[in-house]
Amino acid sequence: MEENNFNKNVSLLRKALGESATGQTYIETVPRVGYRFVAAVSEIGSRLVAPAEESGSAASTPRQKIQFCVTGDGVRLAYSSAGSGYPLVKAANWLNYLDYEWDSPIWKHWLRELTKNNRLIRYDERGNGLSQWDVKEMSLDLWVQDLETVVEAAGLDRFVLLGMSQGGAVAITYAIRHPERVSHLVLVGAFSRGLTARGTEQQMAGRRALQTLVRLDWGRNNPDFKSMFTKFYIPQNSTPEQHQWFNDLQRISASPENAARIMTLIDEISIRHLLPLVSVPTIVFHGDRDRVLPAEEGRILAAEIPGARFVPLNTGNHILLAEEPAWRVFLEELGAFLGWQNNQAGPAV
């Protein structure tokens, strides 16, 4: 092989391995002599398999079953069910994609842990993911109706309800309307006041500018713009790979127009006055340095929902990552709240 051609191939190889993106060196160049592969290499079995199929992990990562249902106003929603045990329903949050999330380093650990003791039901809300994108109406009320539709379609009587981010407002509203259905309410990085209700004029101006950029740029593969979002959501100890997945998740989950519409609705959420009406056992988790939703919003929830427990998490990430200590704290506290040691029997209320 020609030397130039060879150098070009080595450079392609380094790129494919993500050396500059991840900072991990696999191939060492010894100047004027040659090359050495410096990463630890181990020999494995006789067939390449995806990690989910490897022995040991198959049992802990069940398959998800994706189905569709239709809301009262005729919108087709995708929902999924995985695992077995007492049902745990996760309200939709800022941009979901049932299929894509399943193996993503952003959500994989959530899905694995939440299916260990429970049957986990998730869905993509109207306008994003595998659900219908072309929708006339979107509102907090319709998001709650989306959740109601999924609960009916999945045939659930009583369950744990998990709300993250704006999914928290949906979950709180649902729990007030259907207290007999919700045995436990779990809120993570949630809020009752959107930016319109809590923000300064300067913050609002910034937000309007951001919405314009979303409308213009969402689909245009502008890496700076997308990584800016990602750095808000998972700023702490996240890997380039996690950034890439989060960037991609946003790009494929919603059209620019829908993303901007959802963003506007999130800002307009204002349900603080409803908090005293929550009557189900509630636990509130919030990162103490959350850059998307300030920790004060979590404290308001816990203070104004009667009897709620508050668990501050030592993190700057809006979505907890598998490697951080706060993730372990979250699981321990959640397990204690849901009585995971008595799994299958359903939680004692």
Partner 1 sequence: MPPTAGLYQFGPFQLDPREHRLLREGVEVSLQLKAFEILCLLVENAGRLIKKEDLLERI
Q: Which residues bind partner 1 (CB under 8 A)?
A: 1, 3, 5-6, 9-10, 12-13, 16-18, 24, 26-27, 30, 33-52, 103, 105, 241
CB-nearer residue toward partner 1: 18 or 339: 18
Contact assessment for residue 6 and residue 13, using Cβ atoms and an 8 Å cutoff: no
Rg (CA), the chain: 22
Tokens of 260: 């901007």
CB-nearer residue toward partner 1: 110 or 191: 110
* Dihedral sign, Cα of residue 42, residue 45, residue 48, residue 52: negative
Phi, psi (5° rounding) for residue 58? -60, -40
Report how far residue 168's alpha carbon sits from residue 152's, in angstroms, rounded to the nearest whole number.
Answer: 20
Tokens of 157: 């009587």
- Give the angle 130-110-266 at the CA atoms, nearest 5°: 55
The single-letter code of the amino acid at 97 is Y
Listed as own residue / partner, the contacts of 43-52 with beta carbons closer than 8 Å and 24 or more positions apart are: 52/103
Q: How far is the CB of 175 from partner 1 (least distance, A)?
A: 37
The answer for residues whose C-beta is within 8 angstroms of residue 45's C-beta and 6 or more apart is none
Q: Is 157 helix (H, G, I), strand (E, B) or coil?
A: coil
CB-nearer residue toward partner 1: 49 or 204: 49
Strands 282-287 and 309-313, by their bridges, are parallel
Report how far residue 26's alpha carbon sits from residue 260's, in angstroms, rounded to the nearest whole number.
Answer: 41
Nearest to 159 by CA among 119, 107, 125, 189: 119
Report how far residue 130's alpha carbon sits from residue 150's, in angstroms, rounded to the nearest whole number.
Answer: 14
Q: Give the bridge partners for 193, in sequence order.
A: 270
CB-nearer residue toward partner 1: 92 or 98: 98
Q: How far is the CB of 130 from partner 1 (least distance, A)?
A: 20
Q: How far is the CB of 248 from partner 1 (least distance, A)?
A: 12
CB-nearer residue toward partner 1: 42 or 341: 42
Q: How far is the CB of 172 from partner 1 (least distance, A)?
A: 36
CB-nearer residue toward partner 1: 109 or 178: 109
Q: How far is the CB of 105 from partner 1 (least distance, A)?
A: 8
Phi, psi (5° rounding) for residue 145? -65, -35
CB-nearer residue toward partner 1: 34 or 56: 34
CB-nearer residue toward partner 1: 240 or 335: 240
Report how far residue 19's alpha carbon sits from residue 11's, in angstroms, rounded to the nearest whole number.
Answer: 10
Q: How far is the CB of 161 from partner 1 (least distance, A)?
A: 31
Q: How far is the CB of 108 from partner 1 (least distance, A)?
A: 10
CB-nearer residue toward partner 1: 61 or 132: 61
* Dihedral sign, Cα of residue 297, residue 299, residue 305, residue 308: positive
Q: How far is the CB of 103 from partner 1 (least distance, A)?
A: 7
CB-nearer residue toward partner 1: 33 or 59: 33
The distance of Cα 172 from the centroid of its chain, to the nearest Å, equals 18
Q: How far is the CB of 305 from partner 1 (least distance, A)?
A: 39
Tokens of 188: 């993570």
Q: How far is the CB of 315 from partner 1 (least distance, A)?
A: 23
